[in-house]
């Protein structure tokens, strides 16, 4: 995304409480300053495992200058020693994402990060996600409930655990053009749980019972 588009989006979403900025290996963290110049709320950065140790430390320092709240997965998954060093030396909290898929991962990450991002589609279900949250709390780790680009079905399910988490990143349906489900409502960055039985997600149309060829 060009800087001018980042500025445009930051201005358009200036009333939202939190924005997440995804960076790549080519980014040095200065783009957080571009966003900060027009956006007053909390900024979180997702590195998607883009940097090596030296780069990640430089980026963390740059993000700190722009009052970024936290840095997610700065190091490629599977490099726990480097991740721990970033955690120990970073001026802002470091969270694991791709490195955290199972309860065993949560235990291994103790002392390596400040928190973990738990995703329903990654861990496999609500029971496992609940277990991971409890383990993280016992390990002194903060918890974020996340998602991929997905329908309101999965996000409505994960939102049932929202009261147990420190941070929410459940914006998956925003990226869909035609969500086949209704459920959680996302209004200007605020998540509202649906009423009704179960998780509150409802299909918009009947699921087809057969497939037709063109």
Per the prediction, the chain carries an average pLDDT of 93
pLDDT at 211: 40
The residue extents of the domains of the chain are 3-203
Lowest mean per-residue pLDDT among 4-8, 160-164, 194-198: 194-198
* C-alpha–C-alpha distance, residues 128 and 143, integer Å: 14
pLDDT at 209 over 70: no
Global pTM?
Answer: 0.91
Q: Tell me if the domain spanning 3-203 has CATH number 3.30.420.40.
A: no
Percent of the chain scoring above 90 in pLDDT: 80
pLDDT at 206 over 70: no
C-alpha distance from residue 30 to each of 10, 144, 159, 180 (Å): 15, 25, 33, 38
Please give the backbone phi and psi of residue 155, each rounded to the nearest 5 degrees, phi first.
-70, -35
pLDDT at 174: 87
Strands (E), 47-192: 70-72, 94-96, 115-119, 142-146, 167-168, 181-182, 185-187, 190-192
Lowest mean per-residue pLDDT among 5-9, 114-118, 125-129, 148-152: 148-152
Determine how many CB atoms are found less than 10 A away from the CB of residue 64. 15
Residue carrying structure tokens 């200065």: 30
pLDDT at 14 over 50: yes
- pLDDT tens figures, 67-112: 999 999 999 999 999 999 999 999 999 999 999 999 999 999 999 9
What angle, 0 to 180 degrees and rounded to 10, lies between the N-to-C axes of helices 80-89 and 53-65?
Answer: 30
The whole-number average pLDDT for the span 44-73 is 98
């Amino acid at each position: 995304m060009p800087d001018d588009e980042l500025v445009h989006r930051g201005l358009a979403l200036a009333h939202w409480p939190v924005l997440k900025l995804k960076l790549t290996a080519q980014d040095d963290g200065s783009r957080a300053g571009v966003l900060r110049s027009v956006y007053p709320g909390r900024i979180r950065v997702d590195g998607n495992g883009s940097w090596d140790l030296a780069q990640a430390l430089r980026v963390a320092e740059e993000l700190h200058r722009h009052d970024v709240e936290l840095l997610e997965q700065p190091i490629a998954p599977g490099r726990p020693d480097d991740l721990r060093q970033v955690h120990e030396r970073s001026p802002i909290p470091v969270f694991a994402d791709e490195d955290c898929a199972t309860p065993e991962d949560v235990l291994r990450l103790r002392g390596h990060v400040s928190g973990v991002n738990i995703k329903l589609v990654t861990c496999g279900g609500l029971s496992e996600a609940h277990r991971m949250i409890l383990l993280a709390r016992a390990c002194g780790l903060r918890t974020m409930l996340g998602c991929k680009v997905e329908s309101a079905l999965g996000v409505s399910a994960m939102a049932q655990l929202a009261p147990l988490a420190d941070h929410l990143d459940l914006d998956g349906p925003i990226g869909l053009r035609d969500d086949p489900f209704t459920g959680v409502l996302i209004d200007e960055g605020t998540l509202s749980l649906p009423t009704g039985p179960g998780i509150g997600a409802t299909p918009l149309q009947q699921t087809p019972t057969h497939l037709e060829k063109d």
